[in-house]
Chains A and B, each alone.
Chain A
Amino acid sequence: MSRETTASLPTGFGRRDFLAAAGVALSGGLAGCSGVFAAEEDQVNVAGSSTVFPVTEAIASAFSEENPTVNISLSKTGTGGGFGNFFCAGRTDINNASRAIADAEVEQCGNNDITPVEFQVATDALTVVVNPDADWIDCLSVEELREIWRADGAQQWSDINEDWPDEEFELYGAATTSGTFDYFNEAVIGEEENHRSDYHATERDRTIVQGVQGSEYAMGYFGFSYYSENPDSIKAVSIDNGDGCVEPSIDTAMSGEYTPLSRPLYIYVAKESLAKSAVRDFTRFYMKQAATDLVSDVGYVPLTEENRDENLEKLNGAIAEVTE
């Protein structure tokens, strides 16, 4: 008798446990089913440039505090990676871009019935940095920069200027999937020459900072916000585009003096996605915030109010087309 009762005890527990587990599984499944539709409608997916990432992050953070039910996902894939693998394949609603969309990408989007709508959200001063101990260099002309970064160009500092050390460059730059790479390539290297391929290419700006900190003969380039957070550990080089040396800063980028490396930053919104209320609300919120301190806190130049109003008008036009 006593044996039987002890033996049946665990059995009872086993059954109860099984029922509990089944209950959890069932309710989980039900919650899942009802959540499917809600998830699609309340989801905003963003991929693209790591340069624009902090701007979108700041704005998404502010947006989600006001709209906690909307789920915004944000990935760093590089501008080109974002267009090719995510945005034009219909996987994301918005793409961060540190350059304008290319013709091939517009075509790829078109094949998948996606219409990209461009909005400028900020201006960046693409910054060339060197080690703080590199005291021989404060300013570079665009030609010198091209000579350093083009394929088959200079190999040593002394190739640029005889007074500079007989040491080879150690170069850190953006990866080819990056819009920063594309912009630098276009603005500095030009179409006749190619960007050199024997440099450390990365999508992680922190790797560039560490590399440049580590060697006196190193040089790198990235978005201004990354420099403005590390002004003591790396040195920014002024750029001479024929009118004297101009240092990279929010002011010089805003006034247009810092050429040719000040560049517009964009987001591209799929017009079809504007049919979702969450994407609509988020984009509208984004356009309004892009003219505020949220952008300058990150280290970029905010939009003028005029630009902002143009953007809002363009957005309202696109929304009207898809919601009718």
Chain B
Amino acid sequence: MAADTRDEPADSGFGQISRTKDVSFRLLALAATLVGIVSLAALLLNVAVDAVGWLDWQFLTNPPHPDPYQAGFLPALVGSVAIMLVIALITFPLGVGAAIYLEEYADDGYLTRFIQLNIANLAGVPSVVYGLLGLGLFVGLFSIGYGTVLAAAFTIALLILPIVIISAQEAIRSVPDSQRQASYGMGATKWQTIRNVVLPRAMPGIMTGTILALGRAIGETAPLIMIAAPTTVFGLPNGPFSKVSAMPLQIYNWASYPQTEFQYGVVAAGVVTLLVVLLTINSIAIVIRNRYQQRT
């Protein structure tokens, strides 16, 4: 009794104690978590089962073919990797440069805030819109040629650039200001401070952000369709101006073939290959981050 009377006033703000509500809310939250995880697991399992027997060496080394048993993925696989490499070469310097400017040099005026707001907005623009931009700018105005490695890489690089800038900014911001002040105190210039203090500390974060953005880029299909990347390519890209197909585009194409072997087996094998490449890229990001974190 005594305990009850003492509890009552402290309890009033929270209402009646209810064990049922406590448990049911916990279950509700668990269910919300499981919906995503379970459906992802079901999808992966489904695809993996369908891909058994289809994902073999000849699938990875052959060119595409209308016969599902001879169809191969090599040109799309190499095409995707080639596009990725060029994207990395474009986005890394541009993204890090923009982030350094915004974090270290720009003053906190209206213009900077306007730029900042726009970068955040650009990160949310649908990829089809970037595809149209690429079509108008790189294919039309600069005439790099429709569906080439360069046109594809520049278009997707624009798409992931905002993400790279934002994550690089986060990384640079996380370097403690006291270290910068210490560097200035030693008589270092701004450039020396950025090169010797800020960038080495921020590099793991920048690398992780960039590689994760590349992981997003590898799955993009819509911009490639917009810049008229060919449906299917035979032979490997032999230069930045050769026509290129990518893994998601080839998978999309196979899904429309008449044979059920394509719709299930070959498509599933393509999806598994795409996922493996994606997970490899992401795990490289993790390894790099861990290595740099140990060093500094």
Contact = CB atoms under 8 A, between A and B. Distances in A.
A89 to B, nearest CB: 10
B259 interface: yes
B234 A74 contact: yes
Interface string B92-125: 1000000000000000000000000000000000
Interface stretch (A54-62, A105-113, A117-125, A257-265): A54-62
A127 to B, nearest CB: 12
A38 B236 CA distance: 12
Interface size class of A (residues with CB under 8 A): 35 or more
Interface string B38-72: 00000000000000000000000011111100100
B258 interface: yes
Given A57-B66, A61-B70, A205-B258, A42 B238 contact: yes
A18 to B, nearest CB: 9
Contact of B239 (A9, A36, A58): A36
Interface string A73-89: 11110000000000000
Contact of A71 (B64, B146, B201, B236): B236
Contact of B256 (A45, A205, A297): A205
A72 B233 contact: yes
Interface in B253-279: 253, 255-259
Contact of B66 (A35, A58, A64, A75): A58
Interface string A40-69: 101101010000011001101101110111
B92 A204 contact: no
Contacts of B184: none
Interface string B271-296: 00000000000000000000000011
Contacts, number: 133
A23 to B, nearest CB: 12
> Interface on chain B toward A: helix, strand, loop, or mixed SS?
loop
A65 B63 contact: yes
B139 to A, nearest CB: 10
Contacts of B259: 229
B200 interface: yes
Contacts of B66: 54, 57-58, 61, 297-298
B135 to A, nearest CB: 12
Given A75-B228, A206-B257, A32 B200 contact: no
Contacts of B86: 28
A206 B89 contact: no
Nearest to A54: B66
Interface of B: 62-67, 70, 85-86, 89, 92, 146-147, 195-196, 199-201, 203, 228, 230-243, 245, 253, 255-259, 295-296
5 contacts: A34-B239, A39-B240, A42-B242, A71-B242, A205-B256
